[in-house]
């Protein structure tokens, strides 16, 4: 009897221990599952601040597209711009952006993306106020240049900030969100321009809505964890990474990868001169050269021209609906396309999305050029007055799918240890291309006609397709540090061969 009781007791103890073990295993599995998933809300909060900064960038890009008719109206009784002044007004903002990116390269490496944006927001507001109350053409042009200087720094810093705080699983969507908000800025200024508001009132509204919310949001957020690592501030880097990943996420492996790549011999990996020296490494230099070519040439695919001259283009095409309403439709398409890109960029992959988008861009531009060619050749196009709007909608849609992916690839291919320096230089090249493309459009139209201009832009799209297909690697779903390591390994293998 005693033996039977002891056996039953032993069985109960074994079952209890087994049950406790199973419970602990289940709890551990649950914790492991949680630790593998980074929190989304902190990353969304960081992205929101960076994306709101992009709202102002979209507004300054689209401002000339709807305000040029007022500024070129001789009977307006206000400031009047001639043909050469129009070209400067549309393009000076991009020259300012190029200068801003170049001059702010060293300060951005020193103070980081977040504080770079915070410093330039007051300058951004002051430039808008100067534009709104300008009393002469030179002051008007100066304000556009200053808008470009601060806007260029803000754009470069915000893209880098969002790229570096985002987890690899959601990086495509978060960076694409910043592009979406920039397109909202275009829609906002197009809508304001179509209401009949003066360009002065519009400038005043734009300055107020694009600065205060961004500043408040950035003050509540930490610096980029990867930038902190380049400055040797490892403890702050760990805290920032924990903030953006959530308390339950195990970020030790990601932290190790970040610190490992940014570690320098003398512990100063964030210093700009050291970053520039690292850019001289053959594989890094190859990546930078490829990205520089793409960042410059992509400006000659017509996107910046359409953005800056949308109403004059529709006026030249003699569309049978309001040019301002057509501009608003195009702006809405820009938003829809950018949102669409968020859903496909992490499914299709970077390279297929880019190739498809720029192929369709090329076809749309050739068709639009053909419309202008037939119209100037005497063919009656009244019955198809809607065709330029439709073509522009298709072109805008595929462009706004392709450009965010290209921006994403730029951030992914650049190694963390040189990202600040390389990004600043690439944005300098990017904005120089914008300036040349925007400033040269009136002269190009005078020399080749609208049809010739759009055919040239279509040809550049095909060149970009070839460059992407042959030279851009696939980066979807890869950790930033792993991408850089794989590129270096590939370079070493080719050298050995």
Q: How many domains does the chain have?
A: 1
Q: DSSP labels for 168-192?
A: TTTHHHHHHHHHHHHHHHHHHHHHH
pLDDT tens-digit profile, the chain (497 residues): 334 433 444 444 444 444 444 444 343 333 334 445 667 787 888 888 888 888 888 898 889 888 998 998 888 888 999 888 999 999 999 999 888 878 887 788 788 888 999 999 999 999 999 999 998 999 999 999 999 999 888 888 887 888 888 777 777 778 777 778 888 899 999 999 888 889 999 999 988 888 888 888 888 888 888 888 877 888 888 888 888 887 777 777 777 777 776 664 334 444 667 777 777 778 788 888 889 999 999 999 988 899 889 888 988 888 778 888 989 999 999 888 878 877 776 677 778 888 889 999 999 999 999 999 998 887 877 777 788 989 999 999 998 888 878 877 887 787 767 776 787 788 788 889 989 999 999 889 989 999 999 999 999 999 999 998 888 876 655 555 555 555 555 443 443 44
Q: What whole-number distance in Å separates Cα of residue 196 and Cα of residue 267?
A: 57
Instruction: Give me the pLDDT at residue 225, please.
Output: 84
Q: Report the CATH number that the domain containing residue 361 is assigned in CATH.
A: 1.20.1250.20
pLDDT of 82 reads 87
pLDDT of res. 281: 79
Determine, yes or no, domain membership for 48: yes
Instruction: Dig out the tokens for 170 from the structure.
Output: 């959601």
Count how many Cα atoms sit within 13 Å of the Cα of residue 352 in the half-sphere of its side chain: 7
Alpha carbon distance 449, 333 (integer Å): 26
The answer to whether the beta carbons of residues 330 and 187 sit under 8 Å apart is no
Tell me the CA end-to-end span of the chain in Å, nearest whole number. Answer: 81
Which one, of 235, 208, 209, lies nearest residue 222 by Cα?
235
Query: Could you list the residue range(s) of the whole structural domain that residue 281 is in?
Result: 42-492
Hey, CA dihedral for 246, 249, 250, 252, is it positive or negative?
A: negative
Closest to 233 measured CA to CA, from 260, 270, 265: 270
| 145-200 pLDDT per residue, tens | 999 999 888 888 887 888 888 777 777 778 777 778 888 899 999 999 888 889 99
* Angle, helices 171-194/323-348, rounded to nearest 10 degrees: 180
CA distance 492 to 415: 16
Convert the pLDDT of each residue in 207-259 to its tens digit.
Answer: 888 888 888 888 888 888 888 887 788 888 888 888 888 777 777 777 777 77
CB 229 within 8 A of CB 237: yes
Rounded-to-integer distance, Cα 434 and Cα 95, Å? 8
Distance of alpha carbon 474 from alpha carbon 472, whole angstroms: 7
Within-domain flag for 299: yes
pLDDT at 96: 92
Cα–Cα separations (whole angstroms), residue 334 to 112, 182, 372: 30, 10, 23
Residue 18 included in any domain: no
How far is C-alpha 104 from the geometric centre of its chain's CA atoms? 18
Contact indicator for 139, 129 with CB cutoff of 8 Å: no
Helix (H) or strand (E) segment spanning residue 99: helix 83-103
Candidates 59, 143, 149; CA nearest to 96 is 149
pLDDT for 475 equals 64
In a domain, 166, yes or no: yes
DSSP for 10-23, written as a single string: HHHHHHHHHHHHHH
Q: Which residue has the tokens 């799209």?
A: 461
**Is residue 224 included in any domain, yes or no?**
yes
Asked if the structure places residue 37 within a domain, the reply is: no
Q: Please tell me the predicted confidence (pLDDT) of residue 276.
A: 74
H helices present in 195-322, as ranges: 199-209, 212-219, 225-230, 234-245, 252-262, 272-279, 282-297, 303-317
Buried b (16+ CB within 10 A) or exposed e, 114-131: bbbbbbbbebbbbbbebb
For residue 32, the 8-state DSSP code is H
199/181 Cα distance (integer angstroms): 22
Helices 303-317 and 171-194, packing angle to 10 deg: 30
| Contact (Cβ atoms closer than 8 angstroms) between residue 152 and residue 100 | yes
Q: Is residue 136 part of a domain?
A: yes
In a domain, 371, yes or no: yes
């Amino acid at each position: 009897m005693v033996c039977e009781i002891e056996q039953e007791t032993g069985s109960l103890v074994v079952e209890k221990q087994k049950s406790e073990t199973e419970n602990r295993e289940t709890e551990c599995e649950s914790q492991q599952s949680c630790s593998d998933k980074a929190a989304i809300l902190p990353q969304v909060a960081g992205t929101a601040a960076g994306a709101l900064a992009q709202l102002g960038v979209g507004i300054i890009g689209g401002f000339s597209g709807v305000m040029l008719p007022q500024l070129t109206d001789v009977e307006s009784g206000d400031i009047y711009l001639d043909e050469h002044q129009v070209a400067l007004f549309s393009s000076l903002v991009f020259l300012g952006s190029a200068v801003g990116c170049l001059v702010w390269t060293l300060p951005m490496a020193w103070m980081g993306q977040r504080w770079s944006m915070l410093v330039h927001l007051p300058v951004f507001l002051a430039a808008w106020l100067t534009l709104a109350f300008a009393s002469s053409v030179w002051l008007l042009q100066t304000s556009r240049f200053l808008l470009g200087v601060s806007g260029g720094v803000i754009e470069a810093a915000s893209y880098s900030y969002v790229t570096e705080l985002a987890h690899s699983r959601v990086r495509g969507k978060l960076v694409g969100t910043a592009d979406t908000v920039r397109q909202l800025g275009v829609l906002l200024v197009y809508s304001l321009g179509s209401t009949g508001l003066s360009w002065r009132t519009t400038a005043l509204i734009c300055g107020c809505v694009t600065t205060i919310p961004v500043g408040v949001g950035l003050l509540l957020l930490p610096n980029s964890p990867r930038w902190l690592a380049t400055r040797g501030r490892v403890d702050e880097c760990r805290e920032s990474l924990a903030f953006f990943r959530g308390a339950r996420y195990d970020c030790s492996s990601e932290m190790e990868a970040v610190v490992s790549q940014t570690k320098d011999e003398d512990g100063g990996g964030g210093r700009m001169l050291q970053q520039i020296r690292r850019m001289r490494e053959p594989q890094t230099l190859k990546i930078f050269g490829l990205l520089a070519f793409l960042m410059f040439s992509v400006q000659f695919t017509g996107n910046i021209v359409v953005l800056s001259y949308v109403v004059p283009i529709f006026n030249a095409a003699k569309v049978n609906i309001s040019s301002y309403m057509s501009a608003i439709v195009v702006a809405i398409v820009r938003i829809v396309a950018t949102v669409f890109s968020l859903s496909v960029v992490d499914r299709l992959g970077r390279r297929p999305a880019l190739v498809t988008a720029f192929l369709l861009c090329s076809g749309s531009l050739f068709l639009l050029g053909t419309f202008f060619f037939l119209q100037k050749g005497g063919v009656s196009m009244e019955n198809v007055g809607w065709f330029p709007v439709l073509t522009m909608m298709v072109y805008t849609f595929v462009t706004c799918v392709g450009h965010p992916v290209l921006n994403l690839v730029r951030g992914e291919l650049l190694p963390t240890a040189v990202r600040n320096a390389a990004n600043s230089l690439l944005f300098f090249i990017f904005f120089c291309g914008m300036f040349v493309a925007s400033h040269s459009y009136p002269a190009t139209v005078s020399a080749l006609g609208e049809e010739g201009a759009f055919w040239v832009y279509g040809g550049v799209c095909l060149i970009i397709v070839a460059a992407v297909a042959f030279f851009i690697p696939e980066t979807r779903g890869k950790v930033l540090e792993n991408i850089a390591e794989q590129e270096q390994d590939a370079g070493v293998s080719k050298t050995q061969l």
